[in-house]
Structure 1
Amino acid sequence: MSFQSHDALVKAVFAQRRHAEGLLKSLLPASVAGRLDWSSLELRPGSFVDPSLRARHTDLLFSVQSPEQSVLLYVLVEHQSTVDPMMPLRAVIYAGRVWDRYLSDHPGDASPPAVLPIVLHHGRKPWSAPTQLHEVVCRDRTLADGVAERMIQLDLVVHEVSEASCLALHRRGMLTALGTLALLLLDKARQSDDILADLRRWVGLMRVVLSEPSGIAALAMVVQYIVEVTGTPTGDLETLLVSELGPGGEEAFVTGAEQLREEGRMQGLERGLAQGREEGRRAERARLLIKLLDAR
Structure 2
Amino acid sequence: MKKRMTSTPHDAVFKRFLRHPETANDFLTLHLPEAIRQRCDFSSLRLEPASFVDEDLRAWYSDVLWSVQTPCGLGYVYVVIEHQSSPDNHMAFRLMRYAIAAMQRHLDAGHKTLPLVVPMLFYHGATSPYPFSLNWLDEFADPQMARTLYACPFPLVDVTVIPDDEIVQHRRVALLELMQKHIRQRDLSGITESLATLVMLGYTNRRQLRVLFHYMLQYGNTADPSVFLRRLARRLPQYEERLMSIAQKLKQEGIQEGRQEGRLEGLQEGSRREALRIAGSMLQNGLDTETVQRITGLSADELKPLHS
Q: What TM-score comes out, normalization by structure 2 length?
A: 0.45
Relative CO higher for 1 or 2, CA cutoff 8 Å, sep ≥ 6?
Answer: 1
TM (norm. structure 1) is: 0.47
